[in-house]
Amino acid sequence: MKVVNKSDAPALTRNDGLVSHILHSQHEVSETDLTITWVDVEPGARQVRHEHDPEQVYVILSGTGVMAVGDDERTVAAGDLVHIPSNTEHSLENTGDRPLEYVSAATPAFPAAEVDEFYDQ
Instruction: For residue range 55-85, list pLDDT tens digits in order.
Output: 999 999 999 999 999 999 999 999 999 999 9
Residue 50 DSSP code = B
Domains parsed from the chain with CATH numbers? 7-118 (2.60.120.10)
What is the predicted pLDDT for the residue at 29?
86
Of 93, 115, 98, 11, nearest to 47 by C-alpha is 93
**CA 88 from chain center: how many Å?**
14
* pLDDT band (50, 70, 90) for residue 121: very low
Of 16, 52, 25, 43, nearest to 101 by C-alpha is 43
* N- to C-terminal Cα separation, the chain: 28
